[in-house]
Amino acid sequence: MKNVDSQVVADFGREWQRFNQQSASPEELQALFGAYFKVFPWEALPAGAEGADIGCGSARWARFVAPRVGRLHCIDPSPTALEVARQNLAPYPNINLILGSAGDLPFPDNSLDFAYSLGVLHHVPDTAGALREIARVLKPGAPFLVYLYYAFDNRPFWFRRLWQITDLLRRGIAQLPYPLKHLIAEGLALLVYWPLARTAHLLEKIDKLPPHFPLAQYRHRSFYIMRNDALDRFGTRLEKRYTRQQIQTLLQEAGFTHIRFSEEEPFWCAVAHKSPAPSPLSEPYAKP
Q: Chain centroid to CA 173: how far?
A: 22
pTM of the model: 0.93
pLDDT at 1: 87
Instruction: Tell me the mean pLDDT per 10 residues along the chain, length 288.
Output: 95 97 95 97 97 98 98 98 98 98 96 98 98 98 98 96 96 96 98 98 98 96 98 96 98 97 95 78 36
Return the closest-CA partner of residue 2 out of 96, 112, 129, 114: 129
Tell me yes or no: is domain 6-151+241-276 CATH 3.40.50.150: yes
pLDDT at 278: 56
Task: Assess contact for 143 and 271: CB atoms under 8 A.
Answer: yes
SS3 at position 152? coil
pLDDT at 84: 98
pLDDT at 281: 40
Task: Assess contact for 201 and 235: CB atoms under 8 A.
Answer: no
pLDDT at 277: 66
